[in-house]
C-alpha cells in the first residue's frame, strides 16, 4: 500500500492531489450531512420514507395487492437498469485503461487541457472505475432489498386475521426494507453525479474542484429545497 501511495504521489502533481483530496472530503461531508446528520430529516429521502410507511399501511386494507406488487416491480426495474448500465460503464473504463498511451496522445493536441501522461490516465480512470464499482454494489444491494420487500408485501396479513398490531408491525418492517433499498439506490445515483465531477479531472484539476462544488450544489438543492420536496410535504399531513 505504501508503494502504491508513493507511486501515485510521484505521478500526480500537487494540484492534482489537492483536487482529489478536496473531492473526497466534499463527497464524504455531503454524504454524512444528507444521510446521517439531523439535517437528513429535512430531505426528500426522509419525506419519501414517511410516504413508504403510509403506502404499506394502506396496503393492509386491500384484498388483492396487485397494485403494490406492480409498484415494487417498477422500482426494481428502474434500479436494475442502473445496475446493468453501470456494468457497461465499468467495462468501458477497463477498456480505456488498456489504451492510456493512445488517450494521452489524442488529448495532448486539444487546447485548454492539462497534459496527462499515460500513468496519470491510469490513475484518473482508476478513480472513475472505483466510483462506478461502488455504485454497482449500491444498485445491486438495492435490487435485493426491493425483492425482499416484495416478499414481505406478499406476506402481509389482513388485520382481521392476524390482529391489527401484528399487521402494522409487518407493514412497518416492509416499509423499513423499502426505505433501505431507496437509501442504497440514492447512494448509487449520487456516485454517478460525483463521477461526472471526476470526469472534469481529465481536463483540469481546478475544473475538477469547481465541478465538485457544482455537483454538491445541485444535489443539495434537489434534496433539500426542490419543488418535488415541497409537493411531497404538502400532502404529508393529509
Answer whether residue 215 is part of any domain: yes
Task: Kindly tell me the burial class for residue 164, based on how many C-beta atoms sit within 10 Å of its own C-beta (0-12, 13-18, 19 or more).
Answer: exposed
pLDDT (tens digit per residue) in 150-194: 888 888 877 766 677 888 888 899 899 999 999 999 999 999 999
Answer whether residue 130 is part of any domain: yes
Q: What is the pLDDT of residue 64?
A: 73
Mean pLDDT of 109-137: 86
- The number of domains in the chain is 1
State how far Cα 76 lies from the chain centre.
15
Calculate the dihedral angle through the C-alpha atoms of 45, 223, 29, 22, rounding to the nearest 10 degrees.
140
Answer whether residue 231 is part of any domain: no
C-alpha cell at 171: 407493514
Q: Which residues of 108-133 are buried (b: 16+ CB within 10 A; e: fewer)?
A: eeeeeebebeeebbbbbbebbbebbb
Which residue, 11, 59, 32, 44, is CA-closest to 226? 44
**Cβ–Cβ under 8 Å, residues 130 and 94:** no
Which residue, 187, 172, 94, is CA-closest to 139? 187
**Residue 127: partners with Cβ closer than 8 Å, 6 or more residues away:** 20, 198, 201
Residue reference for cell 442504497? 184
Answer whether residue 43 is part of any domain: no
Cα–Cα distance for residue pair 196/198, rounded to 1 Å: 5
Query: Is the pLDDT at 7 greater than 70, yes or no?
Result: no
When the pLDDT of each residue in the chain is averaged and rounded to a whole number, the result is: 87
Answer whether residue 45 is part of any domain: no
Q: What is the pLDDT of residue 189?
A: 96
Q: If DSSP states are collapsed to H, E and C, what string results for 12-79?
A: CCHHHHHHHHHHHHHHHHHHHHHHCCHHHHHCHHHHHHHHHHHHHHHHCCCCCCHHHHHHHHHHHHHH
Q: What is the pLDDT of residue 103?
A: 76
Confidence of residue 136 (pLDDT cuts 50, 70, 90): very high
Answer whether residue 235 is part of any domain: no
Confidence of residue 9 (pLDDT cuts 50, 70, 90): low
pLDDT (tens digit per residue) in 79-121: 999 999 999 999 999 998 888 777 777 677 666 677 778 888 8
The fraction of the chain above a pLDDT of 90, given in percent, is 51
Answer whether residue 157 is part of any domain: yes
Answer whether residue 162 is part of any domain: yes
Residue numbers of the domain that contains 214: 2-35+66-223
Amino acid at each position: 500500500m505504501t508503494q502504491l501511495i508513493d507511486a501515485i504521489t510521484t505521478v500526480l502533481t500537487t494540484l492534482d492531489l489537492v483536487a482529489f483530496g478536496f473531492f473526497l472530503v466534499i463527497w464524504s461531508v455531503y454524504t454524512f450531512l444528507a444521510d446521517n446528520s439531523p439535517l437528513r430529516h429535512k430531505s426528500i429521502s426522509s419525506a419519501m420514507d414517511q410516504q413508504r410507511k403510509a403506502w404499506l399501511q394502506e396496503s393492509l386494507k386491500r384484498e388483492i395487492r396487485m397494485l403494490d406488487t406492480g409498484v415494487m416491480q417498477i422500482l426494481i426495474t428502474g434500479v436494475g437498469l442502473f445496475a446493468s448500465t453501470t456494468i457497461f460503464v465499468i467495462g468501458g473504463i477497463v477498456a480505456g485503461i488498456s489504451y492510456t498511451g493512445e488517450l494521452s496522445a489524442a488529448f495532448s493536441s486539444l487546447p485548454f487541457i492539462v497534459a496527462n501522461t499515460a500513468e496519470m490516465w491510469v490513475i484518473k480512470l482508476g478513480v472513475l472505475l472505483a466510483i462506478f464499482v461502488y455504485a454497482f454494489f449500491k444498485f445491486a444491494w438495492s435490487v435485493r432489498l426491493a425483492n425482499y420487500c416484495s416478499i414481505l408485501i406478499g406476506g402481509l396479513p389482513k388485520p382481521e386475521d392476524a390482529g391489527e398490531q401484528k399487521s402494522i408491525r409487518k407493514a412497518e418492517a416492509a416499509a423499513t426494507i423499502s426505505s433501505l433499498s431507496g437509501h442504497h439506490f440514492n447512494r448509487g445515483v449520487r456516485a454517478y453525479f460525483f463521477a461526472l465531477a471526476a470526469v472534469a479531472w481529465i481536463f483540469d484539476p481546478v475544473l475538477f474542484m469547481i465541478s465538485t462544488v457544482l455537483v454538491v450544489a445541485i444535489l443539495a438543492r434537489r434534496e433539500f429545497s426542490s419543488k418535488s420536496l415541497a409537493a411531497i410535504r404538502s400532502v404529508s399531513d393529509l
